[in-house]
Amino acid sequence: MITTIANDSPPELTLEEMRAERQRLLQEKRLRQERINVRKLRLQESFALDYGLSDLVQELGSLTTDRMNVLSGGRYTRRSDGRSYPLIQDERQLGLYRDASRIMCQSNEFAGGLVEGVCAYVVGVGFSYNVKPQPDCSDVPKELVERCKGWIQEFQTMNQWFGEEMPGLEEESCNRLDEDGEFFHALYHEMDGTTYVRTVEPEYVTAGGRTSDEETSWTFGIQSPKHDPQQVLSYNVQWGDSVEDEEQIDKGRMIHCRINSRRTLKRGLTPFSFNTYTLFYQAAVLADALVDTAGQQAKIVSVKQFANSGPSGITAFGAKQNKTGSDGQPVASKLQKGRNEVLGAGQTYLAGPIAANGSTHLAILTSTLRSAGRKWNAPDWLVSGDPAANTYASSLTAESPFVLWVKRRQALLSSCFKQIVWRALLWAARCKQIFAAGRIWTAEELMALIVIEVNAPSPIARDALQAAQANQTAIAAGWKSQRMAAEEEGIDYDQVVRDQIQHEQDMMGTRLDLKLPDDPPGNPAGGGNASA
C-alpha cells in the first residue's frame, strides 16, 4: 500500500507574482512613511506656534550674532539640497519667518504702508504687453501679430490679470515678494487652448509625503537631483491636510519667483525679518506711545492750584491721588476729556518728558523708520508718510537708489510675467487656436517669428510738458522714432496708427457727403456745374 503525505507548504510564486508582491510591499512601506512624515510635520508646526513672535524673532536673530554657531558651520550637509544655514534648515523655520512677516505687514501701519507704496511704484497702473515681429523677420503677417495680441488680452481677461473680483495678479505678486519672500503661480492648460493661472500659497509647497532618495531630493517641496538644487524638476503641492491631496506639478507649469535667496537655495526669505522686523515693531511702539501721551496731555483743560493749604490738606490730596490695587501696586488711570487738575499748596505742575523732548522723539522715530527701509532703498517720505520731507524730487530721479531698486524689481517681475504669457500663448498654438492669414500657426513658428515685450511703468518723476518737448526734438532730429516715444509712454503705437487711419477715412466720407451752397441737387461736392 502506498501512503501519500500531504504537502501544506504554499505553492511557489511565479516571477511576475513575486514582482507584484514586492511592489505591494514597497507601496505599503511608502504609505507608512508618508503618514509618519505628516504626523511629524504637524507636531513640529504645533510646537512652533507655542512661542510668542517677539521671542521667536529674538531667538532667530541670535543666530546672526552668535559667532560660535555661525563659524562652526562648515559641514556639507548644512547647505545641501537648498538649505540656508544657519537661517533656514527646514520648512518649519521657513514658516516661522513667513508667519511673523505676515502679521507685521497686516498689523503694522509703517510696514503695510511701505509694501503698498513700493507696489505703487513697481506696478503702478499695470505693466503693458505688446507683440512684435522678430527683428530679422520682415515678412511676418500683421494678422498673426494682431491674433497673438488678441489671444493674450483674452487670456488676461479670463484670469482677471489686472483685477476685477480678485486682486490683480501683478499687484499680488509684488506684495507677496515682500510679505512671503516668494510667490508661486501654477498653470492649468485646458484642451480648448485656454490657460488658468492659480496662485499657490508658499506653505502649500511642501515635501509632505515625498521622500528623498539616492537620486532626487524633495527638500522644501521642490524636487531636484541629489546635490544639485539649481536644476528644478517639479513641485509638490499639498492642497489639503492629507498626503492624498498632493499634486506633483512639473516645472513647466509652475512659475516660482523668490528674493533674498541664492541660486543654490530653494526658497526665498521675506525682508521683514531680524533687525528690519525689530525696527518696524519698535517704530510702531514709539509712535503709539507718542500719540497716547499727547492725547493724555491734551485732555487737561486747566490746572487749579490752591494758594493756602495746611499739611493735613496736602496729605489728604496725595492719598486721594495715589490709588492702589488689591495687590498693593499703584493702579494706572486714564484721564477723561476736559479734566481739571487740582494741585495743593507747595505743589508745582510739571509737564511730562514729551512736552520738552517731543522733537527728539520724532527724530528718533524718523531715524528708526529710515533704518527699517534700507532693504528697499526707500526714501524717508515713503516709509514715514511725512509730506514735509524735502527729498521727494531727488529720490525719484533716474540715478537715485530707490529708482534703481524699483527697476531691478520690475525686471524680475517682467521676466516672470513674460514666461506666463508665453506659455499660455504656446499652449494655445499647440491646441491649434492661433488662426491668422488663412492658416493655423504652430508653437514653433510663433517662437521663431514674434517676440513678446513686457514694459513696466517708469518710476521717475518728470514734467509731462518737458518730456513731450524732448520727444518732439528727438523725433525731429531723427534719432528717435514715434514708435519708441509711444512705447516709453506705455502707448500701443499700432493702435494709434489704426485709429488715425480710421479717423481719416471717417473724415473723408464726411467731406464727400458735403455739398457746396451753389451746387444743384444731385451734383457731388467739388464736381463742378452739371452739363445741360
Q: Is the pLDDT score of 531 beyond 60?
A: no
Q: How confident is the model at residue 477 (pLDDT cuts 50, 70, 90)?
A: confident
List the single range of 18-27, 167-176, 270-279 with lowest mean pLDDT. 18-27
Q: What is the mean pLDDT of residues 154-161?
A: 97
Which of 55 and 258 is assigned the larger pLDDT?
258
User: Is position 487 within any domain?
Assistant: yes
pLDDT at 71: 47
pLDDT at 345: 63
Better-scored residue on pLDDT, 384 or 419: 419
In a domain, 473, yes or no: yes
User: At CB < 8 A and 24+ separation, what contacts does 33-37 make?
Assistant: 33/209, 33/211, 34/208, 34/209, 34/211, 34/243, 35/209, 35/243, 37/207, 37/208, 37/209, 37/211
Residue 486 domain-assigned?
Answer: yes
What is the rounded average pLDDT of the residues 467-485?
83
Q: Is residue 471 part of a domain?
A: yes
Range of the domain at 493: 464-513
Residue 439 has what DSSP assignment? E
Would you place residue 528 in the very low, low, confident or very high pLDDT band (cuts 50, 70, 90)?
very low
**Could you give the CA distance from residue 100 to residue 112 in angstroms, rounded to a whole number?**
13
Place of cell 479717423: 503
* Minimum mean pLDDT range among 135-139, 271-275, 405-409, 478-482: 478-482
**What pLDDT sits at residue 250?**
97
How many C-alpha atoms does 332 have within 13 Å on its Cβ side? 2
Name the pLDDT band for 62 (thresholds 50, 70, 90). Answer: low
> Is residue 490 in a domain?
yes
State how far Cα 84 lies from the chain centre.
21
What single string gives the DSSP state of each residue in 421-451? Answer: HHHHHHHHHHTT--EETTEE--HHHHHHHEE
When comparing pLDDT for 513 and 301, which is higher? 301
C-alpha grid cell, residue 125: 497702473
User: pLDDT over 90 for what percent of the chain?
Assistant: 49
Task: Flag whether pLDDT at 58 surpasses 60.
Answer: no
Does 150 score more than 50 pLDDT? yes
For residues 44-73, average pLDDT:
49
pLDDT at 519: 56
Cell of 383: 516709509
Instruction: Report strand pairing: 450-455 vs 254-258.
Output: unpaired
CA nearest neighbour of 379 among 360, 358, 406: 406
Average pLDDT over the chain, rounded to an integer: 82
| Mean pLDDT value across residues 276-283 | 96
Question: What's the average model confidence in pLDDT over 112-117?
Answer: 97
Higher pLDDT, 48 or 158: 158
Q: Do residues 290 and 368 make contact, with C-beta atoms less than 8 angstroms apart?
A: no
* Predicted pLDDT at 399: 84
Query: Which of 100, 105, 88, 95 has its CA nearest to residue 46?
Result: 95
Single-letter residue type at 504:
E
Note the pLDDT of residue 314.
56
Residue 378's pLDDT band, with cuts at 50, 70 and 90, is: very high
| pLDDT for position 461 | 75
Winning range, highest mean pLDDT, from 17-21, 431-435, 464-468, 492-496: 431-435
**What is the spatial distance between Cα 371 and Cα 393, in angstroms, rounded to a whole number?**
20
Between residues 53 and 307, the one the model is more confident about = 307
Give the number of domains in the chain: 1
Position 27 scores a pLDDT of 79
**What was the pLDDT predicted at 388?**
66
pLDDT confidence tier of residue 242, bands split at 50, 70 and 90: confident
The whole-number average pLDDT for the span 289-294 is: 86
Answer whether residue 8 shows pLDDT above 70. Answer: no
**Which helix (H) or strand (E) covers residue 62, if one does?**
helix 53-65
Q: Does 185 map to a domain? A: no
> Residue 67: what pLDDT?
43
3-state secondary structure of 113: helix
The pLDDT-based confidence of 3 (bands split at 50, 70, 90) is: very low
Higher pLDDT, 85 or 280: 280
Q: Answer yes or no: is 214 within a domain.
A: no
| Chain segment 401-458, per-residue pLDDT in tens | 999 999 999 999 999 999 999 999 999 999 999 999 999 999 999 999 999 999 999 9
Give me 53's grid cell: 513672535
**In this predicted structure, what is the pLDDT of residue 527?**
47
Residue 504 domain flag: yes
Answer whether 239's CB lies under 8 Å from 395's CB: no
pLDDT at 59 over 50: yes
pLDDT band at 229 (very low <50, low <70, confident <90, very high): very high
Beta strand extents in 48-194 (DSSP E only): 128-133, 182-189
Q: How many CB atoms lie within 10 A of CB 190?
A: 11
Handedness of CA 376, 221, 236, 41 (dihedral sign): negative
Q: Give the chain's largest Cα–Cα span.
A: 142
Q: Record the pTM.
A: 0.73
Which of 308-322, 352-366, 514-528 shows the highest mean pLDDT?
A: 352-366
Q: Report pLDDT for 391.
A: 66
| Cα 476 to Cα 468: distance, rounded to the nearest angstrom | 12
- Residue 470's pLDDT is 80
